[in-house]
Amino acid sequence: MIVKPFTTRRSVLAGAGALAAIALLPGCGLASERLPDYRYRLTVEVDTPEGLRTGSSVIAVRSILLPKTLPDAPVLRIEVRGEAVTVDLGPRGVLFALLRGTTRTDWAGGAMELVTPHPPVVPGANQFALWHQAMIANRGLHVVPRHAPLPPNPRRDSIPRPNDPPNAYPMLVRFGDIADPASVALVDPDDLAASFGKGVKLRRITVELTDDAVTTGIEKRFVWWDSYENLQFDGHRLNDSTTLSSNLNHLDISRGY
């Protein structure tokens, strides 16, 4: 199965720190404005015949409002620091919840959006700044919805995807051989048993604001990590959009700013 569109390595690295423009907003000033940083814990829970298995990762998000220069210019920059969630299922393998989604490359930067209602419109106010305030005040444990409408993004989502469901989950994958990045394969969140065996089922995915330190160390799982710093998982420098491995790289597993 090939999920499109994917981000090429060139386009990912064009924005240092995996920057993502996710909204077009009126009324920006002439200078950039950094909004308060926040961290959240992303947790994945999986039911197995051997019992509940969980994994979590603390991810930091930095948001910067940019000056409005052109009608179609992005006015919000998102930077993410953190790593994918790993759920160790023992002999069954390891489930990875990546920092990206199946169609949204900046999924980790927008996870709190999925569980935070839009605040009321305030005339003359910057609505994203108000929404950001709502997000960082949205304490407590929240279940990520399976499907949810995502904000429109003319710059990245210009290719029509009429058959794509509104998938609100991060991309789930596994490696057939953890020592071979090209063996990466999609995991269907609605059918984990197909990848990990009978009785394995995704219970839920949650997010919760936290003051805990950002999670690190996932690269130790991969003997190939250092040699693939500038390569897609298929071993090539650029994405050719033919396989999943050609469309993924280390920034989908770990990012820093």
Domain segments of the chain: what residues?
Answer: 9-255
Query: What is residue 148's predicted lDDT score, i.e. its pLDDT?
Result: 75
Beta strand 142-143 pairing with 94-101: unpaired
Give the C-alpha separation, 174 to 186, whole Å: 7
CB 46: neighbour CB atoms within 10 A?
Answer: 22
Q: Which residues of 108-123 are buried (b: 16+ CB within 10 A; e: fewer)?
A: bbbbbbbbbeeeeeee
- What is the amino acid identity at position 211? D
Specify which residues 204 forms β-bridges with: 45
Query: What is residue 124's predicted lDDT score, i.e. its pLDDT?
Result: 83
Cβ atoms 112, 132 nearer than 8 A: no
Helix (H) or strand (E) holding 10: helix 9-14
Helix (H) or strand (E) holding 173: strand 170-175
Give the C-alpha separation, 22 to 111, whole Å: 12
Query: What is residue 233's predicted lDDT score, i.e. its pLDDT?
Result: 97
Query: What is residue 251's predicted lDDT score, i.e. its pLDDT?
Result: 96
CA distances from 249 to 180, 226, 229, 234 (A): 13, 12, 8, 9
Query: What is residue 64's predicted lDDT score, i.e. its pLDDT?
Result: 92
CB 219: neighbour CB atoms within 10 A?
Answer: 13
Full pLDDT tens readout for the chain, 257 residues: 333 333 333 333 333 333 333 333 344 345 789 999 999 999 999 999 999 999 999 999 999 988 877 666 657 889 999 999 999 999 999 999 999 998 888 999 999 999 999 888 888 888 888 989 999 999 999 999 999 764 544 444 444 444 555 789 999 999 999 999 999 999 999 999 999 999 999 999 999 999 999 999 999 999 999 999 999 999 999 888 789 999 999 999 999 97
User: What strands lie across the sheet with 94-101, from one edge to the other?
Assistant: 85-88, 94-101, 170-175, 184-186
